[in-house]
Amino acid sequence: MLSLIFVFLVLKPALILCSLTDPVCFFRIKDKENLEGDKDIDCSFFIYTENGSMKNDYFSGNLDKQMTSKNVHLIFSLYFAMEEINRNPHILPNISLLANIKCNLMEKKKKYGLSPKRSENFPNYYCKNQRKYLIVLTGPTWGGTATFGPFQYMSRTPELYYGYFQPFLNVHEQFPHLYQISPTDTSLPLAMVSLLVHFRWNWVGVIISDEDRGIHFLSELREEMQRNIVCLAFVSIIIHGNLSFLKMAEKYFNQIMMSSARVVIVYGDKDSTVQLNFILRKSVTFNRIWVSMSQFDRITIKGEFLLNSPHGTLIYSHHISEISGFKQFIQRVHPSNYSNEISLVRLWWIYFNCSLSSSNCKKLKNCSTTNIFKWLFAPFGMSMSDSSYNLYNAVYAVAHSLHEMLLKQVDIWPENAGNRLELDSWKIFSYLKNIKFVNTPGDLVNMNQKTKQDTEYDIFYITDFKYFGIKMTIGKFSGHFQSNQQLYISDEMIEWATDFRQIPPSVCSRPCSLGHRKSPQEGKAICCFDCNPCPENKISNMTNMDDCVKCPDDQYSNAKRTHCLKKVLTFLAYEDPLGMCLAGLALCFSSLTAAVLAIFLKHQDTPTIKANNRVLSYVLLISLIFCFLCPLLYIGHPNMATCILQQTAFAIVFTVAASSVLAKTITVVLAFKVTVPDRRMRWFLTSGAPNFIIPICTVIQLIICGIWMGTSPPFVDEDVHAKHGHILIVCNKGSVIAFHCVLGYLVSLALASFTVAFLARNLPDTFNEAKFLTFSMLVFCSVWITFLPVYQSTKGKATVTVEIFCILASSAGLLFCIFAPKCYIILFKPQKNSFHKITKTHSKLAIIH
């Protein structure tokens, strides 16, 4: 007993102090922490009218102490619109638009069930002398609208939903009395993908709610991603009502954390469990960039943004023009101006450290301005949210509809109606669905869903800054413009708000650098690829190219495969070391041949020269001079004339040389094989008939060349593939068949000479040159038979070089094999070149000569 008395004496001063500071009407502990965070609470606004000028002083019922700043924003957006309308003499003159407010009906239904006092929750269940409402504005969550909608229909009260557009609420068969003012989000997938493309994010995750709205959004998002080559790293569909919700939440969490995607799109309804998944993980830091709608910019219990991230969140919000006067209006808010009820006063007392008069529970004193701004303006600043702006327009839509109806139906005004003005709700509803007007900020508000234009979005950047946070407008999207002008992003605002010098990447594979192309990885998305170098003569001068671009024929790729360079025109020029060397050899051999000819002319009466038919020797030497000069036609810049002369000159002079050798060989064989020649054979030898072999063979070659030149003559050609980085100017043979016919004819003459000389190789005589003719023809045939395969396997200047080398080699073979032994005897063994050495063959020599 003594102990109880002691406790009472100790606690009594505290109770006395408490009674002095807090009036008995608020006898409860102050709870400054909002257990619901910034969660939206359903609020319904029952609109009615009164004659004359009336003030919104009916703040009906007791507002729940857990009301959030968003709901207070809604309430004052409504009051602001009504005050503007009631002060405007051009809309509803001498009529006041008023509202009855009821919030958190869903929570009350869960806790208490449907209230027996239906008139409190459902309008138009009224007794005599009770008020009848024109329309009820419901939102911002759809749960209360869907639940109580049938009761509204039964009471013949139309509804105007101001929350985010819900497709299932648009079904007329289920909700014939309901209309939605918010625009649809048909452009949202395109708007989000445009943002991803702008920041070069092609590897993103998606989190949606398991409902028709979320599935439809995902379907449209996939289509836009495919068109813009953006890939899904993962898709988390948050299931409603799952018994193992915590287990599934762990799965969703692991999907986010294990994925390499640094950007995640979050789309869900205000009432979905998507928000709960993030609330459960608020202790974890997600190093992700979130992209979402404005319903996910809410603040949680701890005063942090729901989609919290060090990188911030990009929020899409329907375009809201700034409403003049709303900032000043919201700064002057005070419970005494808007309510005769005690509930709003209690909210101010709970959250803003206001003190109360001990005699008047409705009189607030010393409210903390800092706390007011901290609580009321944290989510949005002083601007309206999407729902608040929709509510603002909804009030004006009701006013314009009522105004138009009154203008057309003046006779409905009752006589002696007093202050109460009761109108037909359904007639107003029929006007409402087609009303169109320009609101105070200048935006066109069109209530006809079928004729509404594409939605415009503002893009915000939000980052957590200890409850106050930062919310900056960084861009906008408008579906009215062309595809390349729909998205506008301010890079300066992004850098200022984020302090990012470079936007964090979100890609499956790093972009391929210049000189490389993408190679898809088998079994993976198109955004996952390897980077392979471009092949030769192809380039990629941009990052992430699907394929390399082939350089034009007159250009070639540099070593890094990033640019095409102009090819250098090249040909076998006299300035080149190779060209200079070959030209020098040609001139040397031709000079040497001319010197041999001079020796033969000087010693033309000696037995060595006379014994081998001087005329044929002279013809052969002259033809060899021209053979050695032929390569000069192959050196230098080709033109049409040189290309034709190359082949015709080569064919003719070599035919003369080969036929000369053939004539010499036949003469020798006939001279030494015919031991007792008859008169006809003797006449054949003495008349010089073998010399006619030369013109006959030459005429045949001329015919072949004539056919060649007439059908497909040689021409100047550019070989762009012979050498990398060069365009080789060459003489194209024209008809390859004709060229091989010319060579074949020459080889056949050489083989004939070789065969005849081979038969006479062992004839015993001092001046018999059959052995030398045999060897010279062997060299000649070997050179040109070897030429054919080598010629086919070479390219560029090497082809011309091989042909020149064969001309010089075959000509040199004839010169040295046939004339070197004779020159040796003439110059160094003059004693052998004497008539004293002539024996029994003298008579034959005379015949040959």
Alpha-carbon distances of 615 from 607, 608, 621, 674, 810, rounded to whole Å: 14, 13, 10, 22, 22
From its phi and psi, is residue 353 left (phi > 0), alpha (psi between -120 and 50) or beta?
Answer: left
pLDDT tens track for 209-259: 887 788 888 999 999 999 998 999 999 888 766 556 666 777 778 888 888
Two structure tokens written together for 812? 């040199």
**Do the beta carbons of residue 667 and residue 685 sit within 8 Å?**
yes
pLDDT at residue 791, as a whole number: 77
**Do the beta carbons of residue 687 and residue 667 sit within 8 Å?**
no
649: buried, middle or exposed (CB in 10 Å: 19+, 13-18, 0-12)?
A: middle
467 vs 754: CA distance, rounded Å: 108
pTM: 0.65
Residues in the chain: 849
Closest CA to 512 of 538, 543, 548, 542: 543
Regions of the chain where pLDDT drops below 50 = 1-22, 27-36, 58-62, 115-126, 128-129, 301, 379-380, 415-419, 838-849
117 vs 111: CA distance, rounded Å: 15
Which residues sit opposite 648 in a β-bridge? none
499 vs 651: CA distance, rounded Å: 81
pLDDT tens track for 777-799: 888 888 888 887 887 778 777 88
Sorted by where each starts, the structural domains of the chain and their CATH numbers stand as 41-183+322-448 (3.40.50.2300), 188-320+453-498 (3.40.50.2300), 516-566 (no CATH), 577-848 (1.20.1070.10)
**Do the beta carbons of residue 770 and residue 760 sit within 8 Å?**
yes
> Tokens 């762990």 correspond to what residue?
250
- Give the sign of the dihedral formed by CA 325, CA 329, CA 330, CA 331: positive
> 395: Cβ–Cβ under 8 A, 6 or more apart, which residues?
47, 78, 81, 82, 85, 97, 137
Q: Cα 321 to chain center, whole Å?
A: 34
Pairing type for strands 289-293 and 313-318 reads parallel
pLDDT at residue 12, as a whole number: 45
DSSP alpha helix (H) spans, 173-289: 188-198, 212-227, 245-258, 274-280
- Please tell me the chain's helix, strand, coil percentages from 3-state DSSP, rounded to the nearest 5: 45, 15, 40
pLDDT at residue 840, as a whole number: 41
Alpha-carbon distances of 709 from 377, 639, 641, 643, 718, rounded to whole Å: 95, 15, 12, 11, 20
714: cis peptide before it, omega within 30°?
no
